[in-house]
Structure 1
Amino acid sequence: MLRLRPCVSIRSIYSTRHSKLLSPLIPSLLFSKSPSFLKTHTLYLNPNSTMSTSRPSAFDALMSNARAAASAKKKTQPQPQSKSSSPKKRKTLDHPQNPDKTLNSVQNPQTDESKKLINTPDSSNEPKSEPNSRSDSLLKVNESNKLRVEDKNTELKSKIVLLKKKAGDFKPEMMANWEKGERVPFIFVSLAFDLIANETGRIVITDIVCNMLRTVMDTTPEDLVAVVYLLANKVAPAHEGVELGIGEALIIKALAEACGRKEKEVKKQYKDLGDLGLVAKASRSSQSMMRKPDPLTITKVFNTFQQIAKAIRQHSLSFPKQEKNTKKHYLENNVLEKDMPTFPWEESGKDSQDKKKNHIKALLVAATDCEPLYLIRLLQTKLRIGLAEQTLLAALGQAAVYTEEHSTPPPHIQSPLEEELFPSRVVPSLLPYSQSILALKEFEVDSTLALKEFEVDSIAAKIVKQVYSVLPVYDKIVPALLSDGVWNLPKTCSFTPGVPVGPMLAKPTKGVSEIVTKFQDMEFTCEYKYDGERAQIHYLENGSVEIYSRNSERNTGKFPDVVAVISRLKRPSASSFILDCELVAYDREKKKILPFQILSTRARKNVVMSDIKVNVCIYAFDMLYLNDQPLIQKELKVRREHLYSSFEEEPGFFQFATAITSNDLEEIQKFLDTAVDASCEGLIIKTMNKDATYEPSRRSHNWLKLKKDYMESIGDSLDLVPIGAFHGRGKRTGVYGAFLLACYNSNNEEFQSICKIGTGFSEQVLEERSASLRSQVIPKPKSYYRFGDTTKPDVWFEPKEVWEVKAADLTISPVHRAAIGEVDPDKIPTVHVIAILCASFFKFPVLQNGVQALDVYLLMGISLRFPRLVRVREDKSPEQASSSEQVAEMYNAQKHNHQNNQDDNDDDD
């Protein structure tokens, strides 16, 4: 691309390869009696262009014109030049749309444009230039392009509401305003984000996402993977460790530079708005440029995000945390910085930061309308539009059904008689969720077809969810969906080593009698519940070992000793496998299990075997895959047999989970006591044959957990997120005195307050937690925090930490918002109902009956009574905290809320 730049020095021109051409001109220029000639005329030259000697160059033409103009000026105006007749400034040329055409015009001295590149002082007396000058034409082309883009954006904004239509009524060709095969514009996704953010109904949101995906499938299916990842606010599968999460400081710098603002101004506006995305949207609206960059596309945005995320990961891998502490070591030993060796990660880190900042700037400069808002939120991984990943998966399955090529389901799904294969074919359970069916019934039209269509959508959604639970990789699922359809997805995408799945989890229970009641007439087993770190160990056919945490984080570098043990104690018959187990701190001399707090002191990355001080024992309890065969659909009894036959035990290194198979209450109670004496938390009870498959990423009723400490309380601990704190007083002056905790609602992507906690802290723990959270203080609560007006802490936090909390009880609260609207009306204590009815009579005169008053009551949340801190859960992210659904289930299960559970009290004493 041709780029003209000013040559400041004539001598520098003379030293170029054009010296032969310029030689005749240099003496007259250097010894000219009019120095203002050089001052008032800027010479432009492209040093990278090839100048031909067979004909006059563009530079020769410029110089000739300049000398001719100067001579004419001397003849016509012998008087000194006044300030008012100063030459007009030359407009800076923009990047030309057609480089070849521009090069020809510059090299050809016969064209009018070459004569107008330099304006002379008396140019006002010359005939006005033709409107086809290069700079004017560029401006007009740029203005035309800008208007065309704005028109397309306006058109798209007017049509975006079409995404809310029912899938059967939606036509993708009516939505897209780009040609088939063209890259999907990012503005389309941004406007869809806006549409989703303004909706609360799960069905409507599913329709929007489904129709959005169908539009992409219809026009540019190769962009579908990127669109799905952006909807999930990810750039790669979780186990690859490629994440964004750009810090606020870097985004503020990039935003300030991209928008021509000062960082102080950006920070002040951020403090007022509380959302950097809103700051970016407001900042971009005032920016104007000579030439607007090309509109953003999905591919451009997603590829840039991946480059940023991979740069972060590469720098982290190149310079691990232990190595970075070297400089701190020198400072602690009073070594001056000038005497320290060089630290390569500092220079590399600066370069990395600059690259990331430039990537962000490039995106922001090209962004329009609401694009900056969502660019920033995506970069921070804080999209927060109320789109749960399960909704995205359901929409993806439904979108695949409506594609022309794969729209027809197999015969067994079309048949209305296959109720045993699809037990969800129960009309009463579906009617509340299908407005179209209700509408058909009102007009006395046969609703069988509509019900069937709705059922097929549901089955497709279920298939995608199940496949994603065993292969959480959109790069594999989406292409398979496009090529083979949703009905063949389980065949084309299967469970495989190297890709971790979410662990199966257990439901809490409060007594042995409850276990026997739930599992009556079923064979079940009881295993020790170890107090360690859940791990999924993958052994690949090439002999490599990978270890993943419960949230799919790669922990292989954290446990090199585990890698060695697995390779040593596996039997030769096991060529590849996936093992579900618990890694527990273990004292091999005393042959004793150590508390979880000891395990948490191990380094988290790049551990060297010789540095290990805390030994680990592997307690294996399940086998999910063996020798190219997935086992998750097999019964636990079969999986356990494979487990026992594939490994050799070695005490203190590798052991099978201690277990018994019994339905005798007294025997189970003794086994529980033995587990507690062995430093375990309690028991895990599992069905052996019936309903005994492994259910990834699910908290199943087929697994129950029984903890000794919780048998007289709520049945289980809760994992909660501190979102605020209150300043301490008296002895707690200088630290936080209490904290506001919240559970997580994945459907609405919000944190709901559940309690205020101030007990369970030693002075040391309180100081540690206060110091840790001070760095997470934010000026105002996040828009996705839900709390009562009367519960406003002194400071607010970013949602970063997860705390395990015990409590005596759960109760209805007018202050907190946990599980709001999810309480079972049958479980509401009578005294509370009476109180609400009375309150509605006096305080809410509009309410005339108990049902309406009860509805108001159901808008109240749940809180914990007498909460106390157990520990910090470093193995969990805030989004993996206890869900509002779990909180509601625990409240509904409380015995004092069940009128028919009075007889159970004696059994559990």
Structure 2
Amino acid sequence: MSKILFSDFCATLEKINLTTKRLEIQSILTNYLKEVCETHPPSLAPALYLSTGMVYPEYFNKELGVGENALVGVVAEFTGKSIKSIRNEYSKEGDLGTIAMKCRVSQLFIPKTQLEVMDVFLGMRRIVNEGGPKSSSSKKRIILGMMVKCSPLESKYLIRLVEGRLKIGLALKTVLISLGNVFSSDKVDEIKAAFNRQPDIGRLAECILEHGVEKLSTKFQVTPGIPLKPMLANPSKDLTSAFKRVEDKRFACEYKYDGERVQIHRFGNNIETFSRNSEKTTEKYPDLMDLYNIADKDFIIDGEIVAYDRKECKILPFQVLTTRKRKRVESSKIDVHVCVFGFDLIYFDGKTYIDELLEERRRVLHNSFKEMKGRFQFAEFKDCETPEDAEAFFNTSVEKGFEGMMVKTLGSDATYLPSQRSNKWIKIKKDYLEGMSDSLDLVVMGAYYGKGKRAGFYGGFLLGVYNDEEEKFEALCKIGTGFDDNILSKLYEQLSSNLCGAPKNYSYKESIKPDVWVEAKYVWEVRAAGMSLSPIYNAGGSRNGKGISLRFPRFIRERDDKDVKEVTTSSQIYQMYLDSKIENSEEFY
């Protein structure tokens, strides 16, 4: 078998970089992956990992650990220039990969040996796994060892891979579609569903090569220890809108807890916890290890983790939960206790439950698990027959201080849908009593320099929603309220280290172009007085030159538990706009 050269991989990335057409991007990547499969199948998984800018699945929580200063030093040594010179170029260019490429061109050096995709993949894994007091120099040596074999274009993308940012607008969804097209275009949905059950694209590729796409439903199932993408809920403006969506179906109402989504996995002698975006949080919550005893078999439970006062036996506000350390938490030094409220069962005793109906999943959960007061409890719910029953339950939830309630359909289609957001689950927050139906989770796209009291910081920010069909972020609003001086100082430092050129997957109008662009990695929760049509924003898929924007948006909090692809979507914004019954809505569609 021939080997897969890194130069061909980089040429593919560059072709993708030169187009914004989604179908063309899919075609380019599909053709490349087909060639990999035909030429050297073992390189398929590494090529897929690298295409998504990773070398391990997200849930491994493994990072390259090469900071900006270290990478500037690597580029300086590689190019023979001073660190000061590279920093000056970086401030102008905004991309170390491009700097490395330009310098490589001027060197007129032809490598004696060619890098293979497998070489780079294994080299990147070595970087990840380097540890100890001398790890920085070891990582630098590994990177330089690969760079001396690089052509100019390879230098560009090797540096970007080490940064963890390819910057070509290649989304995971496109990679999955392209992988599906390699085998059969009518198998794309099966491949997406398999990935949602086990979010490991390399392992998925290996399973397909060994067993075929047809066997994915049995060979690539939900597995304890591997987090699946959680089922999501659609927001609703109010109870009336929610009932219209569930139509005449039976439904259950459930308290909405104001905490963090959590998956609890027991397998063998282990307990692991994962966030909604598949990040392992076991280290953050060592006090959940005793949940091993809530059942006597392996399991996966979906739930919400909240701050909890065990003396007063009451749930504490979300802000209290955010004060807990994220890493290296010592059980003996925990001052903010937590309780998990379990609301769904995904796996138990060798059986996957995602295809079972909600009533059955709930029955097994309540019959097979035991509560531990203040540590693990079942989410409170009520099966409702009428809207009046649901309204009474909602009012009770608000009186008790809950965030609102969930409405979940019962009956023949009430299965668990990993990663999907549908009207099978609808969330109604008490915020609709105060204005908008729900807070929004928005991505930070850019920032504007502050003036007056905010001089020296960013005074405003450009926020957007995610168009999951076009795989791009659409500008929704500028925001400048809800921040105190401490937050602004923190955000200036945080965002300044993640500036970039105008990303090709950002959709905006020139009149709102920010002073600096920010990489799509920060999610903020925002509330507003309402929505309106705007000629300068294009969120929601603009028509007649107008998109949707927010009236008087206000920053609430950072949502570091959410991935940028989990922010409010373009279609959701449009639906929320329609639900708000703003006058002249016919001007939009």
TM-score, normalising length from structure 2? Answer: 0.93
2:97 matched to 1:375? no
CA deviation map 1:788-842 (0-9, x unaligned): 32224445545443210011222333323434xx24x6xxxxxxxxxxxxxxxxx
Task: Report Cα offsets for 1:706-761 as digits up to 9, x if no partner.
Answer: 01113564422112233443444455455543322233445666544321112223
Aligned counterparts, 1:326-725, within 5 A: 348=133, 351-401=134-184, 457-458=185-186, 460-540=187-267, 542-564=268-290, 566-568=291-293, 570-572=294-296, 575-711=297-433, 713-725=435-447
User: Partner amino acid for 2:403?
Assistant: E
Question: What is the one-letter code of the residue matched to 1:375?
Answer: L
Preserved CA contact (<8 Å) 2:236 2:576 = no
Q: 1:882 aligns with which of 568, 574, 577?
A: 568
Bigger Cα Rg? 1
Once the 2 structures are TM-superposed, how far is the Cα of residue 779 of structure 1 from its aligned partner?
Answer: 7.7
C-alpha change, 1:802 and 1:663, in structure 2 (3 Å) is: same
Using a 3 Å threshold, how does the CA distance of structure 1 residues 799 and 465 change in structure 2: closer, same or farther? Answer: closer
Deviations 1:79-116 (A, max 9, x none): xxxxxxxxxxxxxxxxxxxxxxxxxxxxxxxxxxxxxx
Q: Equivalent pairs: percent with the same residue?
A: 39
Q: Counterpart of 1:788 in structure 2: which amino acid?
A: K
Name the amino acid aligned to 1:816: Y
1:385 deviates by 2.1
- Secondary structure (helix, strand or coil) at the match of 1:200 reads coil
Kept after mapping to 2: 8 A contact 1:683/1:705:
yes
In the alignment, is the contact (CA less than 8 A) between 2:111 and 2:151 conserved in 1? Answer: no
Closer, same or farther: CA 209–270 of 1 in aligned 2, 3 Å: same
Say if 1:697 and 1:898 are closer, same or farther in 2 by CA, change over 3 A: farther
Could you tell me which amino acid in structure 1 is paired with residue 229 of structure 2?
G
2:37 paired with 1:254 = no
In 2, Cα distance between equivalents of 1:704 and 1:363 = 50
1:619-669 Cα distance to aligned partner (Å, 9 max, x none): 000000010100001000000001001222233222111111113223222
After the TM superposition, which of the residue ranges 718-727 and 543-552 deviates more from structure 2?
718-727
Quote the Cα distance in structure 2 between the aligned partners of 1:210 and 1:378.
20
Give the match for residue 806 of structure 1.
527
The answer as to whether partners of 2:523 and 2:559 remain within 8 angstroms in 1 is: yes
Q: Which amino acid aligns with 1:628?
A: G
Secondary structure (helix, strand or coil) at the match of 2:341 reads: strand
Alpha-carbon distance change, 492 to 864 in structure 1, aligned in 2, over 3 angstroms: same
Listed one character per residue, the Cα deviations across residues 423-446 of structure 1 (whole Å, up to 9, x for unaligned) are xxxxxxxxxxxxxxxxxxxxxxxx
- Rounded to whole Å, the distance in 2 between the matches of 1:394 and 1:593 is 43
1:293 paired with 2:129, answer no
> C-alpha separation between the residues in 1 aligned to 2:585 and 2:451?
43
**C-alpha contact 2:357 2:415 (8 A) present in aligned 1:** yes
Superposed, 1:847-862 pairs within 5 Å as: 854=544, 857=545, 860-862=546-548
Secondary structure class of the residue paired with 1:719: strand
Residue 128 (structure 2) aligns with: 309
**Which of 545, 556, 581 lines up with 1:895 in the alignment?**
581
Query: For residue 874 of structure 1, what is the amino acid of its counterpart?
Result: D
1:687 deviates by 0.9
Return the TM-score normalized by structure 1: 0.61
Do the aligned partners of residues 862 and 536 (structure 1) sit closer, same or farther apart at CA in structure 2, a change above 3 Å counting?
same
* One-letter amino acid matched to 2:129: K
Give the Å deviation of 1:479. 1.9
| Contact preservation (8 Å) 1:384, 1:749 | no
CA spacing shift, 1:817–1:712, aligned 2, 3 Å? same
Alpha-carbon displacement from aligned partner over 1:134-156 (angstroms, at most 9, x marks no partner): xxxxxxxxxxxxxxxxxxxxxxx
| Deviation of the 1:771 alpha carbon | 5.2
Q: Which amino acid aligns with 2:305?
A: L
Higher relative contact order (CA 8 A, sep 6+): 2
Q: What's 1:233 paired with?
A: 53
Query: In the superposition, relative to structure 1, how do residues 184 and 687 fare at CA in structure 2: closer, same or farther (>3 Å)?
Result: same
Shift of 1:362: 2.1
Tell me, in whole angstroms, the C-alpha distance in 2 between the residues paired with 1:659 and 1:489: 35
Matching residue within 549, 553, 558 for 1:867 = 553
Query: Offset at 1:766?
Result: 4.1
* Equivalence map 1:191-230=2 (5 Å): 191-230=11-50
Distance 1:203 1:675 in 2: 46
Counterpart contact for 1:386–1:748, Cα < 8 Å: no
Partner Cα separation in structure 2 for residue 887 and residue 800 of structure 1: 20
Q: Secondary structure at the match of 2:217?
A: helix
SS of the aligned residue for 1:689 comes to coil
Mapped to 1, the partners of 2:454 and 2:307 lie a distance apart of 34
Alpha-carbon distance between aligned partners in 2 of 1:246 and 1:375, rounded to the nearest angstrom: 13
- TM-superposed deviation, 1:781: 4.8
Give CA-to-partner distance per residue, 1:387-435, whole Å, 9 cap, x none: 221221122122123xxxxxxxxxxxxxxxxxxxxxxxxxxxxxxxxxx
Q: Output the CA distance in 2 between the equivalents of 1:772 and 1:242.
A: 21
C-alpha separation in 1, matches of 2:376 and 2:500: 49
C-alpha displacement of 1:485? 1.5
User: Secondary structure, in 3 states, of the residue corresponding to 1:896?
Assistant: coil
The answer on whether the counterparts of 1:509 and 1:705 sit within 8 Å (CA) in structure 2 is yes
1:567 partner amino acid? Y
3-state SS of the aligned residue for 2:106?
Answer: coil
1:54 maps to: none
Residue range with higher mean Cα deviation, 875-884 or 302-311: 875-884
Answer whether contact 2:241 2:579 (CA < 8 A) is retained: no
Cα pair 2:303 2:344 within 8 Å, conserved: yes
Match of 2:537 among 798, 809, 816: 816
Q: Equivalent residues in 2 for 1:819-834 (5 A)?
A: 819=540, 822-823=541-542
Q: Is the 8 A contact 2:59 2:226 kept in 1?
A: yes
Report how far residue 205 of structure 1 moved: 2.2
After TM superposition, the structure 1 = structure 2 runs for residues 112-151 of structure 1, keeping only pairs within 5 Å, are none
Structure 1 residues not aligned, in runs of 5+:
1-180, 316-347, 402-456, 826-853, 901-909
TM-aligned CA distance change 1:192 to 1:736, over 3 Å: closer
Counting matched residue pairs gives: 586
Secondary structure of the equivalent of 2:107? coil
Could you tell me how far apart the structure 2 residues matched to 1:357 and 1:240 are? 23
User: Structure 2: how far apart are the matches of 1:734 and 1:190?
Assistant: 39
Range with greater deviation from structure 2 (693-702 or 246-255): 246-255
